[in-house]
Structure 1
Amino acid sequence: MNGPLVLIDGSSWLFRAYHALPPLTNPAGQPTGAVFGMGNMLRRLSKDYLPERICVVFDAPGKTFREAIYAEYKANRDETPEDLSVQFAPIIEMAEALGLPVIQMSGVEADDVIGTLTRQGRAAGLDVLIVTSDKDMAQLVDEHVSLLDTMKNRRMDPAGVVEKFGVPPALIIDMLALMGDTSDNIPGVPGVGPVTAAKWLNTYGSLDVLVENAEKIGGKIGDKFRAHLATGLLPVAKDLATIRCELEMPLTIEALVPRAPDVEKLAALYKRMGFHRWLEELGGAPASAEPVAAKSFDKPVTAYTTIASPAQSEIVVPTEQIKTRVELVLDDAALEALALKLESAELFCFDTETDSLESNQANLVGLAFAVEAGHGWYVPVGHNYMGAPAQLSLEKVLNRLRGVMEDDSRAKVGQHIKFDLNVLARHGLHVRGVRHDTMLQSYVIDAAGSRHDMDTLAQKYLGHTTIAFSDVAGKGKNQITFNQVALDVAADYSAEDADITLRLHQTLYPRVCEIEALKRVYETIEMPLVPVLAQMEQTGVRVDAALLGRISAELATRMAQIQTEVFKEAGQEFNLGSPKQLQHILYEKLQLPVLGKTPKGDPSTAEDVLEELAAQHALPRLILEWRGMSKLRSTYTESLPLQINPRTGRIHTSYHQAVAATGRLSSQDPNLQNIPIRTAEGRRIRQAFIAASGCALLSIDYSQIELRLMAHFSGDEKLVQAFIDGRDIHQATAAEVHGIALDQVSGEQRRAAKATNFGLIYGMSAFGLARQLGIPRGEAQAYIDTFFARYPGVKEFMDNTREFARRAGYVETLFGRRLYLPNINSKNANFRQYAERTAINAPLQGTAADLIKLAMIDLKAFLEQKAPDTRMIMQVHDELIFEGPEAELQSLAPELARRMCEITALKVPLIAEPGLGANWDAAHNV
């Protein structure tokens, strides 16, 4: 036997598998994500290395000898997530059924077992490959022992240890002793990180010599080092960091030989776990899941098999790292060949490279394409570093590719393709035929499951570590723009992006299509919305910079006045922006009660805490007012003028489709969603959003859309009838709850009803309602009980929705968008209750999001045909804002509002309220 001894750090692997995958479950609702991830990695490793000797090592439950050395060892670690701990047993069962030797030893850690096996393997003349991501293991590396991080496909030898840590393997223990380890609660020298530790050890050669020369270490860090030496903790830390390599093992090296898999046990396990594809590979039939009826939804709900996005088979792990064949297009012949290739393709991927992440200001540096997996093209047009090779002109490239790029019949795919559409539109090329976006495919499959960037998706679905931007452009202050990147390096990076995106599409789109409802969301909502948002971003909105300057000055004046009032209430001056100083004033000087604490245990000065304290003292309310104005000033009045595009004279926000789990759009630079609507300061900022000369702004806002959707989903007769009759819903609720006539409802009763109506949508408890209304908790609970007695359909909807979520693991919008709830059955009450609140709100908020997206798609098409001079320029929550000639907007308003209301048929009427004005505030408040 000549192969290496392969030692798998199972404990490290299972945590990475748990965090890398969506929260999968089997049909019985049992968590399976970590089991599936471990199985994927074990299967891949076996194929890659065909190990002749192998062992999977896990930490055993219970304390180890290290707690005897240092009682605080690992004391600050969070408890293992409940849905992970229940997967330990099936993980070990699977490893053993696969025929792999498994070791767990009480009283020690997996590191110590691996260290001992490593020493024994070397004594037997074997090379050793340790599969782990644990930095502590670097102390075991030598010429015959290396580390393998399978998730990054990186192998580390002694030179690799020096490259990563700055010291050789022999000094890793010393380095860990100096740095400490927050995850294991190993005490380190305060202020000493990897750079300082490596510098000291390379200077003095070892920790012992460093200690002997402690007086030579200058500055404050030297004082800290010497003070730490006095505690006696340095040798303790070194002892804790040292892997024990002389344990008595339950298995000999000769016994670490893989056996043939136990097919019967594997089949039983795969069936129990719901791993259908693996079961089929063994020759067994996939187990079917019983359909789940959902009384709380009007349309049929598909059967479920997992708590996450479609089945676990979505995760594809190749047996080797993906390689892309790259063609660099530098002359007319190569460009012609590429154009012909694109023109004959059924679908192709394209990607742009730019010198900026601001799509409306970025200059095009190059274009990348892929038609089939494994082959990518890069067409540079703007690399201008000294000595850069001659490139085709931008004009020539765009003119030759214009036909295929602007042909709607030529299907195209990209990753976050809206950015590329904006960049090319800025350069006069208007892409059509965009059919797919891998970012949106991932988002539709599981919106909350993970990030949706290409690097993350490549690792998750293809098992491939992509070339990072920092690998080609550097980091921090030394980072260069892409136009300065060498052509050969840029070509490898860009062609890989296009190739990987195409592969992701080939992997993800079939999974979107596995569930008809998700396919419908993707093809009728998310993808058609891409060009709508792209056009809005390109158009932008005008802002009055001079007005913003005046508002900023007004805010500064008011903040100064508040500061004076704060100092008077506090009895002294202090920094209002300092949580530490505010803590001292509130809790030590004023002796206000501590109603909440920070994660570090300090008294909290968070907004919700200050809101409660404001009932007891004037200072917290003043602080909240000051903070609100400070945020408006820094986020809007000071920064908006700086965001005006010098080319267009407008602000161009970026709309994000793949951020909010419910489907809501978000915006950035600036964030339009966070401008307060009910405060005078917020309205003043909206006044600075103005129409172009000779034009006006039209605002159309859905009225109480989530309450209307609650009426629709619940089907409650009284609630539905109130909306049909056009009654004030809050007044109607107050009348029902108090058993009085509508005209007898007081303002205070209506306010309480409004708080209840909206609070129930967001899962507000009796405690929350009591705090908001300033009434006893018992009175708030009685109010909620009476509400449910008057509106029994709402109670039934909420109960049915929670029950469906517990059984299926997800909830759906009216149009089939899913939100998965991995904690819906958690034994942790906080996690479970949050998931239950989300289960109620997500179908309502998600359906509202889908409705306005569908309205945007419809209205863009309508305006292009009927009123091309009017453009949709902003979307904020349930509101759309248009810009155009005032007379045209006046005549269009009723039709646009009507179309918004008729996007879908509900049990209650949708109401969309238009308003016209010279600025956003005027239009919104008409």
Structure 2
Amino acid sequence: MANLTLIDGSSYLYRAFHALPPLSNAQGEPTGALFGVVNMLRTTLKARPDYVAFVSDASGPTFRNVLYDKYKAHRPPMPDELRAQVEPMLKIVSALGFPILRVSGVEADDVIGTLATQAHEHGIDVLISTGDKDLAQLVRPGITLINTMTNTTMDGAAVMDKFGVKPEQIIDFLSLTGDTVDNVPGVTKCGPKTAAKWLAEYGSLDGVMAHADKVGGKIGEYLREALPSLPLSRQLVTIKIDVPLEVGVPQLMLRDRDIDALRELYTRYEFKAALKELDSIAAETATAPSAAPSPAVVAPAQLPPPAPSAELSAQGHYELVTTQAQFDQWLSRLHDAPLIAFDTETTSLDAMQADIVGISFSVQPGYACYIPLAHDYPGAPAQLPRENVLAALKPILEDARRPKVGQHAKYDINILSHYGIAVQGLVHDTMLESYVWNATATRHDMDSLAKKYLGYDTVKYEEVAGKGAKQISFSQVDLDTACRYAAEDADVTLRLHHALWPLLEGEPQLRRVYEDIEIPLVPVLAGMEQRGVLIDVNELRKQSQQLGKRMHELQREAWASAGREFNLDSPKQLQAILFDELGLPAKLKTPTGQPSTNEEALEAIADDHALPRLILDYRGLAKLRSTYTEKLAEIVNPRTGRVHTSYHQGAVATGRISSTDPNLQNIPVRTEEGRRIRQAFIAPEGWRVVAADYSQIELRIMAHLSGDEGLLRAFHEGGDIHRATAAEVFGLEPEAVTSNQRRAAKAINFGLMYGMSAFGLSRQLGIDRGEASDYMARYFSRYPGVHAFMEATRERAHRDGYVQTLFGRRLYLENLSARNQALRAGAERAAVNAPMQGTAADIIKRAMISVAAWLKDRDDAHMLMQVHDELVFEVRADVVDAVREGIRQRMSGAAELRVPLIVDVGVGKNWDEAH
């Protein structure tokens, strides 16, 4: 289907003028607005529209001035520095090949409305490029608005989401709210929420007017006062769709660029990036072959990223904000910005202990500011008071209607929370855009992303603050250097969004993963980190002493087993005793060819002698002591009296959340000592710990994805799934299954999801390989759907290069075609496992979002921790029963599988009791 792009040139010019700092060329000619318009037009050209027009206001009055002589009467005249850019703008627009339309007696909106209506009637899709809210009244199926500054589109649903009314109600909505800029009267004190509420109740402006006597309070008086002027307001805000035009849609074809004219104009106004792009286009045109071969089909995220536009890879222009006048200008830009990129600079990487040093913003790629707040080096220039700046920014940062983008924004959200700012309106995070697009293509830090997707080398932290012992706090960095580094962070964040968001927009499943799972999870994790968990320090100290005592006992037992004393923590001494003195087989080697003494190597010889098992037990207790019983007590936050972990969304390729400082995912649960550590995770007096855990979730996902009738039946019948599996495999009644047979079935059930071989099963069960092979053959004969699913998954992985979760998350597997058989086999095992593990990760994330929304306005229950398939809460004792059931319902309802999602919920005074 053909498409028409209509560019609101007047909107572009004013937006660019107010969004960008004043720029000029060497001759002193103003160029800021011109620069912004040119970049927007270059973006439009890349979309290759079938028909296009640049529509601008003509000079002189319009029919609206005749209707109402006060229309736009209060608008100040166009600033001289902006007026000087209008003529050059039109020259560049023309040289780019755009048809230009300027019609006297009407506004650009009316010309756009007429052309959009004509095109729509002829079955042509219309894209209106604008930032003007009035044009939302034109939206319908086939007519969409696009904001090129944010690369976001607005269809009917987006209009409803933004304004609270349908597109066909926008005229009535604008009539009620009025417009102080254009001097449209409206109803005094009637804001968007009130207008939307009235229209929802009464349907239309006429309905509101008919029921004006039913509206109470002062606002009702204002409505009744406005009744005589509302019909006029409606006329003023209604876009004409019947303007007589000398050209129609078929004549709006893009012409060839005038390369020479563009080169002269770009050179005069010093648009270096545009010049560079122009030269590359000219070179491509000169050398382009007559026909190109069809490319091979390759998954989009496996291809090299598209070459970044010159705009996104050019050097930026950054402003250091130290005066009130500068700050006021940026406040105005933030108020008008369609998307705000923000970043904080702090004293520490620990978000729960750091203090803010400064904050940076960008609303247009290539331009950003840094507002220093707490640089305290000797001779530091005066800075704006931190309290005043943050107080002024608070309404913007907390306004959910003002879209924001960050890079790993959870950190910045946590920092700002220390100052009473609850950030709302985070709609994008470039770390997560990259992570969802391709989790394994690169690291997802800003430096790596800028290099990969922008071809841009960022200023590194070490370059401004130094390295190692000589590294200084950011508060000690001089302001000019700090500005170059910090403002770039905000700028590059916005640039990355412009590079990454179009990729996700082109892949609807990935976009849903990003918008429905990852982005809504950011504030949930931030809230959990801010809350933290209460720790019984005395209990930890007691456990630490007990672990030390037991380690000492193990040391003496190890000495007795070895026949002499030695340092159990010395690999070299242990190597000599195990392999030289005791003559045990060295089954694994280090990279240098020496016998290994790592955990796997000791497990391999644990049945040959008592010493390896003693060493393994000693190391396990030492790790518990150093990682948890000693460390947890040391990292209690003095501000809160709690321990605060950091959750990571972009670290595990399958989508799982990980945690660090402390790592709560690795607290052992299979040993008594490991389980005891959970006793130190406590609830405050009058509260309880509630732990909710998915039962065998990955196995249930296997049943759903494979559709195997036997496995589905086993889950629907309830009871012990491993006993039921053993009964199938061994041809017995469930009650006749022995404990060893159940153990074998359990090992197969879980092992298959991780690609366990017959050799691995034989080692785990302590049986010979032939018997293990027989077990697996029986399993697959009873559950043929599982085998078929595994084979089909491997085939799809080889065909597509990736596998997917139930919700569309992708895992790319680069070693599927490796020559090395071990690498290839590992990739195939990952291909089989990833759909289960990734779907489980998606499900618990969806559950967290659902539960957090339910708990949002409650102060008697808080989500504290996520550990694998478990969520841990702190709940006031008197509401435990109701909250427990609410949690269970929402976790069970996080996905619709062909088998029940069972959630086990426990309650106790500490985490261990809750199990």
Structure 2: how far apart are the matches of 1:624 and 1:310? Answer: 42
Q: 1:826 aligns with which of 818, 830, 833?
A: 818
Q: Does residue 874 of structure 2 align to residue 883 of structure 1?
A: yes
Q: How far apart are the structure 2 equivalents of 1:773 and 1:279?
A: 69
* 1:820-859 CA-partner distances (Å, limit 9, x unpaired): 0111122211011000100010000000000000000000
Q: 1:860 to 1:337 in 2, by over 3 A?
A: same
**Is contact 1:385-1:485 (8 Å) kept?**
yes
Contact 1:875/1:881 (8 A) holds in 2: yes
Q: Is the 8 A contact 1:279 1:286 kept in 2?
A: no
Q: Which runs of 4 or more aligned residues in structure 1 lie more than 4 Å from their structure 2 counterparts after TM superposition?
A: 277-286, 317-321
3-state DSSP of counterpart to 1:753: helix
* One-letter amino acid matched to 2:390: L
Give % identity: 55
1:580 deviates by 1.5
**1:643-689 deviation digits (Å, cap 9, x = unpaired):** 10001000010000000100000000000000011211111110000
Following superposition, the deviation at residue 287 of structure 1 comes to 3.2
Aligned length: 632
| Shift in Å, 1:376 | 0.9
Contact 2:528/2:864, CA 8 A, preserved across alignment: yes
1:524 is aligned to 516
Aligned to 1:624: 616
Q: Tell me: CA distance 1:280–1:914, structure 2 relative to 1, closer, same or farther (3 Å).
A: farther
User: What is the TM-score of this pair, normalised by structure 2?
Assistant: 0.68
Pairing 1:188-203 to 2, within 5 Å after superposition: none
Q: Is residue 542 of structure 1 aligned with residue 542 of structure 2? A: no
Question: Residue 334 of structure 1: SS of its match in structure 2?
Answer: helix
Provide Cα deviations, 1:496-517, integer angstroms capped at 9, x if missing partner: 1111111111001111122111
Q: For residues 279 and 801 of structure 1, what CA distance do their matches in structure 2 show?
A: 46
Tell me if 1:719 matches 2:711.
yes
In structure 2, the residue matched to 1:863 is 855
Counterpart of 2:730 (choices 730, 733, 738) is 738
Aligned to 1:305: 298
Query: Is 1:911 paired with 2:902?
Result: yes
Match of 1:759 among 715, 733, 751: 751
| Distance of 1:545 and 1:775 partners within structure 2 | 45
1:81-120 matches, within 5 Å, as none
Report the alpha carbon displacement of residue 400 of structure 1 after superposing the two structures with TM: 1.0
Give the secondary-structure state (helix, strand or coil) at the position aligned to 2:301.
Answer: coil
Q: Report if the CA contact (8 A) 1:310-1:515 is conserved.
A: no
User: Is the aligned partner of 1:652 residue 2:644?
Assistant: yes
SS at 1:312's partner residue? coil
Report the 3-state secondary structure (helix = DSSP H, G, I; strand = E; otherwise coil) of the residue aligned with 1:359: coil
Cross-structure match for 1:816: 808
Which residue number in structure 2 is paired with residue 168 of structure 1? none
Q: How does 1:162-201 map to 2 (within 5 A)?
A: none
Give the Cα–Cα distance (whole angstroms) in 2 for the partners of residues 624 and 836 of structure 1: 31
Is the deviation greater in 509-518 or in 526-535? 509-518
For residue 444 of structure 1, the aligned residue among 415, 436, 461 is: 436
Name the residue aligned to 1:921: 912
| Secondary structure in 2 matching 1:795 | helix
TM-superposed deviation, 1:607? 1.2
Cα shift at 1:896: 1.2
The 1-side partners of 2:719 and 2:313 are apart by: 63
Structure 1 position 633 matched with structure 2 position 625: yes
- Give, in angstroms, the shift of residue 417 of structure 1: 0.4
For the residues of structure 2 that align with 1:855 and 1:643, how far apart are their CA atoms? 29
Of 493, 496, 506 in structure 1, the residue corresponding to residue 488 of structure 2 is 496
Q: Distance in 2 between matches of 1:836 and 1:317?
A: 37
- Cα distance, 1:917–1:343 mapped onto 2, change above 3 Å: same
Query: In 2, are the aligned partners of 1:802 and 1:840 still within 8 Å (CA)?
Result: yes
- The structure with higher relative contact order (CA 8 Å, sep 6+) is 1
- The Cα shift of 1:321 comes to 6.4
The alpha carbon displacement at 1:320 in A equals 10
- Distance, in Å, in 1 between the alignment partners of 2:307 and 2:429 is 18
**Contact map agreement 1:706 1:844 (CA 8 A) in 2:** yes
Q: 2:671 aligns with which of 679, 703, 714?
A: 679
* Residue 330 of structure 1: aligned partner: 322
SS of equivalent to 2:913: helix
The CA deviation string for residues 860-901 of structure 1, in whole angstroms up to 9 with x for no partner, is 001124x33211010000000111201212221112101111
CA shift, 1:288, in A, is: 6.5
- From 593, 606, 629, the equivalent of 1:601 is 593
Equivalent position of 1:179 in the other structure = none
In structure 1, what is the equivalent of residue 498 of structure 2? 506
Moved more, 603-612 or 617-626: 603-612
Cα–Cα, structure 1 residues 424 and 585, in superposed 2: closer, same or farther, change >3 Å?
same
1:615 paired residue number: 607
Residue by residue over 1:691-725, the C-alpha shift from the partner in whole angstroms, topping out at 9 and shown as x without a partner, is 12221111000000000001001111010000001
Find the counterpart in structure 1 of residue 97 from structure 2.
none
| Aligned twin of 2:686 | 694
How far apart in 1 are the matches of 2:291 and 2:465?
Answer: 50
- Give me the TM-score of the superposition, normalised by structure 1: 0.67
Structure 1, unmatched stretches of 5+, are 1-276, 290-303
Whole-angstrom distance in 1 between the partners of 2:781 and 2:599: 34
Cα distance in structure 1, aligned partners of 2:878 and 2:292: 67
Encode CA deviations 1:181-233: one digit per residue, 9 max, x unaligned. xxxxxxxxxxxxxxxxxxxxxxxxxxxxxxxxxxxxxxxxxxxxxxxxxxxxx
Match of 2:886 in 1: 895
Alignment match, 1:208: none
> C-alpha distance in 2, partners of 1:486/1:599?
46
Corresponding residue number in structure 1 for 2:127: none
CA distance in 2, matches of 1:314, 1:554: 59
Q: Give me the whole-angstrom Cα distance separating, in 2, the residues matched to 1:666 and 1:430.
A: 24
Residue 804, structure 1, aligned to residue 796, structure 2:
yes
Contact 1:310–1:514 (CA under 8 A) maintained in structure 2: no
User: Hey, what does 2:22 align to over in structure 1?
Assistant: none
Tell me the distance in 2 between the aligned counterparts of 1:764 and 1:881.
Answer: 31
Paired residues of 1:280 and 1:286 also in contact (CA < 8 A): no
Distance 1:383 1:283 in 2: 60
Q: RMSD value over aligned CA atoms?
A: 1.7
Structure 1 residues 383-462: aligned runs within 5 Å: 383-462=375-454
Q: Match for residue 25 of structure 2?
A: none
Q: Is the 8 A contact 1:714 1:797 kept in 2?
A: yes
Comparing 659-668 with 588-597, greater Cα deviation is found at: 588-597
> Which amino acid is the alignment partner of residue 584 of structure 2?
L
Q: 1:895 is paired with a residue of what secondary structure? A: helix
Deviation at 1:319, TM superposition (A): 10
| Cα distance in 1, alignment partners of residues 840 and 808 from structure 2 | 13
Matched to 1:287, the amino acid is S
Whole-Å separation in 2 of the counterparts to 1:755 and 1:449: 33
Match for 1:574 among 566, 572, 590?
566
The CA deviation at 1:585 is 1.1
Paired residues of 1:384 and 1:483 also in contact (CA < 8 A) = yes
Contact 1:542 1:651 in 2 (8 A): yes
* Cα displacement (A) at 1:286: 7.3
8 Å CA contact 2:319–2:370 kept in 1: the answer is: yes
Q: Do the aligned residues in 2 keep the contact of 1:663 with 1:850 (CA within 8 Å)?
A: yes
1:563 partner letter = Q
What are the residue-to-residue correspondences of 1:28-47 with 2, within 5 Å?
none
Kindly provide the amino acid, as one letter, of the partner of residue 683 in structure 1: R
Aligned to 1:343: 335
Bigger radius of gyration:
2
User: Are residues 281 and 309 of structure 1, via their aligned partners in 2, closer, same or farther at CA, if it must alter by over 3 Å?
Assistant: farther
Q: Distance in 2 between matches of 1:782 and 1:332?
A: 79
Q: How does 1:185-334 map to 2 (within 5 A)?
A: 284=291, 287=294, 305-306=298-299, 309=301, 311-316=303-308, 322-334=314-326
